Amino acid sequence: MLLKVGELAKRSGLTVRTLHHFDEIGLLSPSDRSDAGYRLYSRDDVARLHGIQALRHLGLPLKEIGAMLAGDGRALPQIVARQIRALDHEITHATELRSRLVLMMDKLSAGAEPDIADWLASLHMMATYSRYFSADEIKRIVGNWSRVEAEWPALEAEVQQIMAAPACRRPTLPCSRSRTAGWA
Position 106 scores a pLDDT of: 86
- Domains in the chain (CATH in brackets) are 3-69 (1.10.1660.10), 83-183 (no CATH)
Q: 86-108 pLDDT, tens per residue?
A: 888 888 888 888 888 888 888 88
Beta bridge partners of 128: none
Q: What is the DSSP letter of 42?
A: -
Nearest alpha-carbon partner for 39 in 19, 25, 53: 19
22: amino acid identity, one letter: F
3-state secondary structure of 26: coil
Residue 76 Cα distances to 50, 68, 99, angstroms: 9, 9, 35
Residues of the chain with pLDDT under 50: none
Position 28 scores a pLDDT of: 94
Q: How far apart are CA 90 and CA 132, in angstroms?
A: 9
